[in-house]
Chains A and B, each alone.
Chain A
Amino acid sequence: MKAKFNTKGFVNSLFFSLIGIVAVLILWTLGVNYTTVGLLLPTPMEVLERAIYTMSNPIGRTNTLLMHLAVSLRRVLVGFTLSALCGVILGIAMGRFKMVEAIFKPLFELVRPIPSVAWIPLAIVWFGIGETAKIYIIFMAGFVNITVNTYAGAKQVDENMLGVARMLGANELQAFFHVVIPSCVPYIFAGMQVGLSTCWMAVLAAEMVSSTEGIGWTITAGQENGDMTQIFVGIIAIAIVGLLLAVLMRWAERVLCSWRVRGK
Chain B
Amino acid sequence: MMKERKTVIECRNVSKTFYSMAGDNLVVDNLNFNVYENEFVVLFGPGQCGKSTILNLIAGLEKPTGGEIIVSGEKVTGPSPKRGMVYQTTNLFMWYTVMQNVEFGPKMQGVPKKVRRERAQKYIDLVGLKGFEKHFPVKLSGGMQQRVGIARAYANEPELICMDEPFGHLDAQTRYLMEEEVERISNSDRRTVVFVTNNAEEAIYLADRIILLHNCPTSVHKEYIVDLPRPRDYTSPDFLALREQITAEMDNTL
User: Which A residues are within 8 Å of any B CB, using their own CB?
Assistant: 1, 160-161, 163-171, 174, 178-179, 182-183, 185, 258-264
Contacts and interface: CB of A to CB of B under 8 A. Distances in A.
A255 B59 CA distance: 37
B93 A178 contact: yes
A168 B138 contact: no
Nearest to A158: B91
B136 A258 contact: yes
A260 B139 contact: no
B79 A260 contact: no
Contacts of B173: none
Closest 8 CB pairs of A and B: A169-B81, A182-B95, A168-B105, A259-B136, A170-B108, A169-B108, A166-B79, A167-B79
- Among A168, A178, A185, A262, max chain B CB count under 10 A is at A168
Contacts of A262: 138-139
A234 to B, nearest CB: 42
Interface in B145-185: 152, 156
A258 B136 CA distance: 8
A34 to B, nearest CB: 56
Given A163-B79, A169-B81, A259 B105 contact: no
B5 interface: no
A152 to B, nearest CB: 17
A164 B105 contact: no
B94 interface: yes
B109 to A, nearest CB: 5
Contacts of A169: 80-81, 105, 108-109, 156
Given A165-B108, A167-B79, A170-B104, 14 more contacts: A164-B87, A164-B91, A164-B93, A166-B79, A167-B59, A167-B61, A167-B83, A168-B81, A169-B156, A170-B108, A171-B108, A178-B93, A182-B93, A182-B96
Given A167-B79, A167-B84, A259 B156 contact: no
Nearest to A174: B108
Nearest to B149: A164
A210 to B, nearest CB: 44
B60 to A, nearest CB: 8
A264 B94 CA distance: 16
